[in-house]
Amino acid sequence: MKILDKIKYKIQDIISIMISEFSTIATSYAILLVLIGGIFVYGFLYNYMYAPNLIRNAPIAVVDNSRTALSREYTRLINAAPQVSVYTNAADFPEAKELMKKKEVIGIIYIPEDFDVRVNRGNESIYIMYGTTDAFLYYLAMQESSSGAMMAIDEKYRPEMLVFLPQQDTPIITQSKAISVVGTALYNHTEGYGSYLIPAVLMVIIFQTLLMVIGMISGDEKNTGALSIYAGREKSFFPVSRIVLGKTFVYCSLYFIFSLFLLGLMPVLFSLPNIGHKYEITMLMIPYLLASSFFGLAASVFYTDSESPLLMIAFFSVGLIFLSGVSYPLELMPWYWKVAHFIIPAAPGTLAFVKINSMGASMADIRQEYITLWLQCIVYFIFAVMAYRYNIKKCMTQKTRKEIGSFM
Amino acid sequence: MNKKMNRSIKDSAFISVLKREWIRMISRKLYFGACIVLPLFSIFFMATIFGSGQMENIPVGVVDYDQTATSRSVIRTVSAVPTFKVTEYYIDDISARNATQKKQIYGYLVIPPNFEDNLLNGNGATLSYYYHYALLSVGSEVRGAFETVLQTLSLSPIVVEATALGINESLIESFLVPINTQSHPLYNPDLDYSVYLSNPFFFILFQVIILLVTVYSIGIEIKFKTGNIWLECAKKNMVIAVLGKILPYTAIFVIMGIFANYVMFGVMHIPFSCGFWPLNLTTVLFIIATQFLGVFLFSLFPAISIIISIVSMVGSLGATLSGVTFPAPFFFPIIYYLSFLFPVRHFIEINQNLLYGDYGYAYTWQNVAALFAFILVALLLLPHLKKAILSHKYENIR
């Protein structure tokens, strides 16, 4: 019976911690603001911002010094490419440069005077493409459309070039076929920027807002001395671990709902890639939310009041996307950032989510990330308990110091 | 006489606010962390994260169903491309696809069965390549490299045939590709990622820190009910109070900003077209404008616990709205115009002009003016901030 009573007491303890944690969250404007603003407003806003997804009809200038049927044909072809549209073909080169400086065009196609003459003479004719690199997407758009137009016009003029080859050889050459080359984009059927970035952003939003909320709560606890109600627990591991568990339970159950919104609803509303299996996403979110909560609680050693955590957390959102290896390949980063990838839960979590959600990976395919997350859970749980033992101890010494101060 | 005295009172008020802030600043480790450690960390992060900055040796795979001399020569040609490193040979499509799913490779080439036969018989052979577009930035590099190498390769049967017939090589070339192109990525000829992103992204991280520190340093006065002392120190002059408060931070941030520029352009040798002064003056102006945006946002609703979470979200939006990754004109119009409310957007516009072509002031004067406007707008709200501090209304909002 005694054991049963003990268990009962422990469960009651955890439940009372959960209730007080939940009421802290529910009664604080600031925390609710982070949750509503961070989860719901951000969820919609980021999707809306990247909804254009692709560069379409970016303005380019064509400097047509040739002014022949051929050059006009090329201009028409490049104008037909979806990525760009010809802003002007009447400009000379200095004018076109001026347009580019004013950011009215993103690049210049320069067609030289002898463009047509060279083709008619049986020589290779060359046009020059200049593209800005302000944004790599601009250059990509320029390159794709320029080479597409080039291939189209080459195919058309190749038969006419046959006359320049020795006549007895032409039948043989026309019979030999080129190898056809087919490229296929995997896992991103729109080939869009948003559909590549947003899934990663959603996971980082979950991590960052969770960290902020935990930071605001634990910072406030330290500032107001609210931890003193747990006095006496700091002496051993398990009573403090109940605090950590109680808090984590509240965070995880709240974020379960938020994840449903961000990872479940948003991809459907904004037609992001979501070929992942729901079961696998759920299985991933369990260690992800746990590890993030424990990580946040462990970091509470550094916080002194409810606002200071934001100073340390908010700036690094972009950095987390890089560390996840979604936007820049992990293989090319120096070793210390590869190590950092395994330390912060957001990095493997984001990568694993992109794998499941965008690439339809199975649990076996995310094995490395999944094991990393569970290891992080264990390590950060221990750290979180240690952090709270330290926090309570510090809170008590501060309190006694204050009391002594008031006696004096 | 009177005027002169007035002025000296003002000066002394300014200096006493400045001194007070300096003492507050060095008495808390938090400010050391937020103003010095985090910016230094950001500089280090953005300077090193891209490795060499070149996307090279990206792991790709090959599926060779053909297993002939021709297919092996195709593979040799592909592995010679610096962008790739052929790390793995797979026996079929499925295992290659699985490896892509595991992110072991970023793309793969499939050489179909009977490739050599079809090629030599003139039946038309096909090469297929697949690239990873869920990771678009890497995928587009892989795609570009495959396209370039395979395009040349695809014409090789004709070239071989023609050479055998004794046709001169330049003749074949102009037959196959009558119209050719030279592509020039301006300012960043190697399409180097650290040239493209290191500098703007440092300032994107930096602006979040600046905004938050500004809001925090002012807001904490209200939260800890020291606002009256602060105002008295400034002889009830709000402008002096705010300027004295943010000036120490401005100084530190400016040092950090210039140091960042030094690391990026001096140590990492990122090319830039302008000189020392325009580069760093822009940085200074950007820092001040961002600080005043912080003052403005805080003055709207001077309760730190509420506004600091809003400001941290505003700051994070800067990463997108700066238009570095996804170009701003291609956002929806409402987002495009919204982006002008962010100092970082103007800063990026000015900076790209300075770094890439140094076209001159005439092309960016609107952006410079906008950065100054942030200062003016913040000053307009100062009376409201003063009233808020004196009324003590906002002290207990949490």
Kindly report, residue by residue over A319-358, the tens digit of the pLDDT.
Answer: 999 999 998 999 899 999 999 999 999 999 999 999 999 9
Give the number of domains in chain A. Answer: 2
Q: What is the ipTM of this complex?
A: 0.91
Range of the domain at A226: 2-51+192-407
- Chain A residues close to B216, C-beta within 8 Å: 307-308, 311
Give residue-wise pLDDT tens across range A221-239. Answer: 888 888 888 877 878 888 8
Q: Please judge whether A74 and B183 are an interchain contact, meaning their C-beta atoms are less than 8 angstroms apart.
A: no
Residue A315, domain member (yes or no): yes
> A206 with A244, same domain?
yes
* CATH 3.40.1710.10 is right for the domain spanning B58-154: yes
- Same domain? For A42 and A73 the reply is no
Residue B93: which residues within 8 A CB-CB, separation 6 or more?
B63, B110
Extract the tokens encoding A115. 């463009």
SS3 A346: helix
Q: Is the pLDDT of residue B1 over 60?
A: no
Inter-chain touch B101–A361, beta carbons under 8 Å: yes
Single out the residue in A111, A144, A175 at which a domain terminates: A175
Q: Label residue A159 by pLDDT band (50, 70, 90).
A: confident
Residues of B whose CB is below 8 A from A154: 176-179
- Looking at the complex, report in whole angstroms how far the Cα of residue A9 sits from the nearest Cα belonging to chain B: 33
The overall longest dimension of chain A from CA atoms, in Å, is: 114
Of the ranges A179-188, A247-256, B8-17, the best mean pLDDT one = A247-256
CB pairs under 8 A between A and B: 362
Tell me if B319 and A58 make a contact (CB, 8 A cut-off): no
pLDDT the model gives residue B297: 94
Interface mutation target, options B101, B123, B203, B347, chain A, most CBs of A under 10 Å: B101
Residue spans per domain, chain B: 2-50+192-391, 58-154
A46 and A69 fall within a common domain: no
Q: What is residue A266's predicted lDDT score, i.e. its pLDDT?
A: 92
Residue A130 — very low, low, confident or very high, per pLDDT cuts 50/70/90? Answer: very high
Query: Is residue B47 less than 8 Å (CB to CB) from chain A?
Result: no
Residue A321 domain-assigned?
A: yes
Q: Does any domain span residue A88?
A: yes
A49 part of contact set with chain B, CB < 8 Å: yes
> Are A226 and A152 part of one and the same domain?
no
Within a domain: residue A184? Answer: no
Indicate whether A218 and A258 sit together in one domain: yes
- Give yes or no: residues A38 and A165 share one domain: no
β-bridge mates for residue A258, sequence order: none
| Predicted local confidence at residue B151, as pLDDT | 84
- Chain A CB contacts of B182 under 8 Å are 126-129
User: Does residue A181 sit within a domain?
Assistant: no
**Would strands B107-111 and A84-88 be described as parallel, antiparallel, or unpaired?**
unpaired
B104: chain A residues, CB-CB within 8 Å: none
Decide if pLDDT at B2 tops 70. Answer: no
Q: Quick check: A408 pLDDT over 60? A: no
**Position A186 in a domain:** no
Place A74 in a pLDDT band, splitting at 50, 70 and 90. Answer: very high
A253 CA to chain B: closest CA distance, Å? 22
Residues A140 and A234 both lie in one domain: no
Asked if B155 lies within 8 A of A178 by C-beta distance, the reply is yes
The verdict on A339 and A372 lying in the same domain is yes
Q: What was the pLDDT predicted at B3?
A: 61
Helix (H, G, I), strand (E, B) or coil at A127: strand
Angstrom distance (rounded) from CA B176 to CA B155: 8
Structure tokens at B205: 């991280």
Question: Taking a C-beta distance cutoff of 8 angstroms, is the pair B308, A307 a contact?
Answer: yes
